[in-house]
Structure 1
Amino acid sequence: MFPTAKLVAIENDPVAALMLRANLNVRGWAGRAQVITQDYRRVKLPRIDGVTAYIGNPPYVRHHDIGSAWKTWYAARFAAMGIKASALAGLHLHFFLQTRLLATIGDVGAFITSAEWMDVNYGAALRKLLLDELGGVALHVLEPTVEAFPGTATTAAITCFRVGEAARPVRVRSVQQLSRLNGLTIGTDV
């Protein structure tokens, strides 16, 4: 799929970035790929003609392990959009915010993360961002019995967005088995 797309991968860990480069090479994609070894929140991407697809599994790092400068960055960037944000947000929520800061209208994305942001106060900023700025179009919540991240006790959610999309409802569904995930277009409009 997308055989002519340019691939840009952002990975903060140099060892993981090296493994990623090797994987890209083995698959024959190295010639159209760029791996940036940097904190995602620091990245600046050039504007392109066409659509950018942001696809990822942002790391789950609790707020206890996020420095105060990054917590301030998070709250200030949200405040600039008129959204109040909590410093208790985990790193995966920072990825959604940075994606909105990088993206242009019409860009798309899908992130798989822990689902707790849907139920807690510090997730309010992301919920608002998805309804307004980021353009949430679908939310697929895996049942707690489905191990999206083997060996972890967490419920996963796949959040799909189209930047600038605010007129349509968000499609939501519960996924009872990984084998039933097969596509991100089904669910109930809410």
Structure 2
Amino acid sequence: MLYDLVFHRLICTTSIVDIRRARFQERKGPERMGRNRDERHRYGQHYTPVEVARLLAALSVRNPGDLVLDPSCGDGRLLEEAVARKREMSGRARSGADGFAQDVYGLDRSRSAVRLARGTGARVGCVDFFDVEPGARFRGAARLPAQFDAVIANPPYIRQEVMGAADKRRVEERLARDRARLADIFWPRWSGRSDIYVYFFAHSALFLKEGGRLVFLTASSWLDVEYGTALRQFLVENFRVIAVIESVAESFFADASINTAITVAEREPRERKREANQIRFVQIVKPLGEVYAHYGSASQFARAISSAAAPVPALTHRARLVPQGSLLDARRPREGSGWGKYLRAGDVFFDVVERGSARLKHLSHMARVRFGVKTGANDFFYLDNGAAQDEGAMKRLGDVASVRRGVTTGANDFFYLNSVEGRKRGARSLATVEDGTGARHLIETRFLSPVIFSLKDIGGVVIEPWQAKKLLF
């Protein structure tokens, strides 16, 4: 049986068990990074570097007894760091044999990933997150808690274009059931263009306690794109958004050239507390290794982020504080209302906007902004390095010919013919062509010239005559 690319349920015969940490330690290193790379990419899984995983754990685990869930645990990097963080907070060594892992849970669809993740000692189930509800029982004696203190995740990165209609419908049905169970939650209209990680945010709310913390590493596109509007609404209306973090020094994904961000939010049903909250937009300008050396540890850096009460122009990062109440109009978004500017724009931008607010207008109020003409002929316009650097082979058309408009008759159906096939008959070469009415004719090729009728017909910089789909008679 062929399972769908994006969502499918892996049926596991093994139960959720504990495996000694020593076995997990043996499997670190290249095996984890190279674990069935094709499988990981098929599921949209991207390896989380240890420095990033350590920061995620420090931001999510606040007490040694916290119940922690990773709904897309992969090979267990975040589970391992969550357990280590709990030990650290209890005053014990980061590694060792104890019961802290018993309060850490992981889910994943991949059997090979689950086998590795169980080496952390955490309780790991081989199951699709969207097939799971709080309190679900797995094969064996294990059962998920009804609610968690923290949900920590590096969700799959799968574009909506590769999600089949059946998959989207199944996720929509799951979120509809979640909405019925969470009557106190503001539920936006989710865009059909949303990538899969957006739905992980939504379904995770079902598993969080009041005050429970959600810490996600995802692509950062949701900060500004149209489909991210619903996610921004969902966060500001249901959570205290503690921080949004990105790095200009390095990617948070070790094996993907994707712009990423860490989102930290606490489940908060009280509107007054949400509106009074200050969101910390943090841009890291140094590699995390240097940042940890500066602060002493990942935990100290996480504490500095979470407790920042004023703008921070530090050597390692900068933080801009934005009142969450000022973003509550996300329910009525306008063009340009994305959050990326709070991470990336300099102070001068906000000074200009503030001082000139009486005179400045949105561009959409003065003009219609839209995409230009799209030809689809990327192979023609985007050259590889070799072709682009060979300047000697490129000349301006005006240097070699006089270009002017010819005689126009309007009889395109007569002069522009569709090539059907060519053949030899004696000394003559003949071509079967089709005119605009659909009639076919046999014409000598010496009377036909190849012509590019549309840029979409261009497959590259060099076009051979036989590649032309149209012929000029």
* TM bracket (short chain): 0.7 to 0.9
Aligned equivalents of 1:49 and 1:82: distance in 2?
A: 21
Partner of residue 133, structure 2: 44
> 2:250 is aligned with what amino acid?
V
Partner of residue 146, structure 1: 250
Aligned equivalents of 2:165 and 2:240: distance in 1?
A: 28
Contact 2:130–2:171, Cα closer than 8 Å, also in 1: no
For the pair 1:68 / 2:172, whether they are aligned, the reply is no
Could you report, residue by residue, the CA deviation over 1:67-88 in whole angstroms, capped at 9, with x for unpaired residues?
3244235556379444111111
Relative to structure 1, is the Cα distance of residues 50 and 149 closer, same or farther in structure 2, using a 3 angstrom cutoff?
A: closer
For the pair 1:101 / 2:206, whether they are aligned, the reply is yes
Partner of residue 177, structure 1: 286
Partner of residue 133, structure 1: 238
Structure number with larger C-alpha Rg = 2
Partner of residue 27, structure 1: none
Which runs of 5 or more residues in structure 1 are unaligned? Answer: 25-29
- SS of equivalent residue, structure 1 residue 149: coil
| Residues 79-90 of structure 1 aligned to structure 2 (within 5 Å) | 80=179, 81-90=186-195
Q: Bigger CA drift: 43-52 or 154-163?
A: 43-52
Could you report, residue by residue, the CA deviation over 1:37-78 in whole angstroms, capped at 9, with x for unpaired residues?
111122222385985211111110111222324423555637
Partner of residue 156, structure 1: 260
C-alpha deviation, 1:119, in angstroms? 1.3
Partner of residue 19, structure 1: 116
Could you report, residue by residue, the CA deviation over 1:78-109 in whole angstroms, capped at 9, with x for unpaired residues?
79444111111111111101111222311112
Alignment RMSD: 2.5
Aligned equivalents of 2:109 and 2:287: distance in 1?
A: 29
Aligned equivalents of 2:112 and 2:245: distance in 1?
A: 31
Bigger relative contact order, structure 1 or 2 (CA pairs below 8 A, ≥6 apart) = 1
Partner of residue 9, structure 1: 106
C-alpha deviation, 1:172, in angstroms? 0.7
Q: Bigger CA drift: 177-186 or 157-166?
A: 177-186
Aligned equivalents of 2:172 and 2:104: distance in 1?
A: 30
Partner of residue 166, structure 1: 274
- SS of equivalent residue, structure 1 residue 61: coil
Aligned length: 181
Relative to structure 1, is the Cα distance of residues 147 and 83 closer, same or farther in structure 2, using a 3 angstrom cutoff?
A: same
Greater share of helix residues, 1 or 2? 2
- SS of equivalent residue, structure 1 residue 2: helix
- SS of equivalent residue, structure 1 residue 112: strand
> 1:177 is aligned with what amino acid?
K
> 2:86 is aligned with what amino acid?
F
- SS of equivalent residue, structure 1 residue 153: coil
Partner of residue 189, structure 1: 321
Relative to structure 1, is the Cα distance of residues 82 and 114 closer, same or farther in structure 2, using a 3 angstrom cutoff?
A: closer
Contact 1:56–1:112, Cα closer than 8 Å, also in 2: yes
Aligned equivalents of 2:263 and 2:253: distance in 1?
A: 16
Aligned equivalents of 2:205 and 2:146: distance in 1?
A: 17
> 1:9 is aligned with what amino acid?
G
**Which one of the candidate residues 116, 124, 139 is aligned to 2:229?**
124
Which runs of 5 or more residues in structure 2 are unaligned? Answer: 1-84, 88-99, 136-143, 180-185, 293-300, 309-318, 323-473
Contact 2:219–2:261, Cα closer than 8 Å, also in 1: yes
- Identity rate, percent: 22
Could you report, residue by residue, the CA deviation over 1:127-178 in whole angstroms, capped at 9, with x for unpaired residues?
11111124322100222x5222134221110000101162312111111223
